[in-house]
Amino acid sequence: MKNICINQELKFVEKLIKNDINAEKTISGLYKYIFKSKGKKIRARLSLISSSTKKHKDRFKLASIIELLHTATLVHDDVVDNSSIRRGKKSVNTEWSNSHGVLIGDYIYSKAFILMVEIGNKDILKELASATNDISQGELIQLDAIKNEEISLNKLKKISYFKTGRLFEAAAKTGAMLSSSNKSYIKGVSEYAKNLGILFQITDDLLDYSDSSDTGKPSYQDLKEGKVTYPFYYAYKNASKEEKSRLKNILVTKKLNKSSTNKLISRLNGIKETEKLAEKYYIQSIRCAKSINKLSVMQEMIELSDMALKRKK
């Protein structure tokens, strides 16, 4: 299955999601607003790629579910992080209110849940329920780690896996489960997607430390929210006592001079070591992809890994 085909399929998934019209104007309005802005749909893409081995009738529904689950977490995250921008537009919590964000997030979650039950595959339900729970755990662990400059690398990796890698993994795994009963295929795409998800999170963290206006995001957003991510972690690890205290001060007061922060983090190898970590997950993901005994799936996956490593937004 060629990339162009997956792109067409993704458009169909988009339509499926948008077809949900609610009789209540506010709900319908919120829903339309959220799904008007186009995300990368990388998780839905993963689902479609993994399920491409057989044209199961529920492939598009499953990819929609993955996209709905992802969107619900984004909407709730924006409330949690008090974010004002999402996909280049005002977030729901800014355009409406936090309350709207909480409730429309619940609405979207339960929509996904309704569709899952329609598919009715118990193993898929189990995987998605577990993933949803893990995502909320990842977010809670991250919240707990705010302003904690002593956070361990293991904890950071757990956060990356739970809050990002887990849904990538579930997207690929359930896609594979829908179309195949081959255990090694299911395991292969799951492992691949887990690594891709963590890679994706690491490059996301890197982008936040880059000045590029391409990202559509304000730079140093994580730092401003008191979040320790990989670049800060490595810089802090390599810092002298005096530098540690400067870094801690940035994290706690959330006041930062972009240019001097940039210099400090770079000098302490925060960016370089994070890039090395990204490279490690990239290589692992490629290794997993190459183990997949289905050429078109393997090719799509390698392409996704390349994109995730080199992405500028």
φ and ψ of 238, to 5 deg: -90, 5
By CB under 8 A, tell whether 84 contacts a second copy.
Answer: no
Residue from 94, 98, 210, 299 binding a second copy (CB under 8 A): 98
| Residue 220 lies near a second copy (rule: CB under 8 A) | no
| Residue of 59, 100, 194, 217 that binds a second copy (CB under 8 A) | 100
Distances (CA, A) of 311 to 117, 124, 151, 152, 291: 35, 30, 27, 26, 24
Q: Does 210 bind a second copy (CB under 8 A)?
A: no
Whether residue 285 contacts residue 199, with contact meaning beta carbons closer than 8 Å, is answered with yes
- Examine residue 116 and tell whether it contacts a second copy (CB under 8 A): yes
Which one of the spans 105-113, 180-188, 256-264, 267-275 is the region binding a second copy (CB under 8 A)? 105-113
Nearer to a second copy, 106 or 306 (CB): 106
From 10-18, 117-125, 252-260, 281-289, give the range in contact with a second copy by CB under 8 A.
117-125
Binding pattern for the stretch 37-76 against a second copy, x by CB under 8 A and - elsewhere: ---------------------------------------x
Distance of closest approach, residue 122 Cβ to a second copy, in angstroms: 6
Structure tokens at 226: 């008191």
Residue closer to a second copy (CB basis): 5 or 114: 114
Q: Which residues of 101-126 are buried (b: 16+ CB within 10 A; e: fewer)?
A: bbbbbebbbebbbebbeebebeebee
CB of 91 to a second copy, least distance (A): 13
Q: Please, is 312 exposed, middle or buried when counting C-beta atoms within 10 Å of its C-beta (0-12, 13-18, 19+)? A: exposed
26 lines the binding site for a second copy (CB under 8 A): yes
Binding of residue 106 to a second copy (CB under 8 A): yes
Structure tokens, 54: 């057989």
Contacts (CB under 8 A) with a second copy, residues 123-162: 125-126, 129-130, 132-133, 135-137, 139-141, 143-144
Q: Residue 9 or residue 127: which is nearer to a second copy going by CB? A: 127
CB of 96 to a second copy, least distance (A): 9
Contact 131, 169 (CB under 8 A): yes
Quick check: 114 binds a second copy (CB under 8 A)?
yes
In 3D space, the residue among 14, 22, 7 whose CA is nearest the CA of residue 71 turns out to be 14
DSSP letter string over 73-93?
Answer: HHHHHHHHHT--EETTEE-HH
- Binder to a second copy among 111, 173, 194, 217 (CB under 8 A)? 111
Residue 283 contacts a second copy per CB under 8 A: no
CA-nearest of 22, 15, 76, 20 to 44 is: 15
User: Longest Cα pair distance anywhere in the chain, in angstroms?
Assistant: 61
Q: Rounded to an integer, what distance in angstroms lies between the CA atom of residue 53 and that of residue 163?
A: 28
| Alpha-carbon distances, residue 210 vs 90, 207, 300 (angstroms) | 22, 5, 28
* CA–CA separation, 86 and 79 (whole Å): 11
Question: Which residues of the chain form contacts with a second copy (CB under 8 A)?
Answer: 22, 24, 26-27, 30, 76, 79-81, 98-100, 102-107, 109-111, 113-114, 116-117, 120, 122, 125-126, 129-130, 132-133, 135-137, 139-141, 143-144
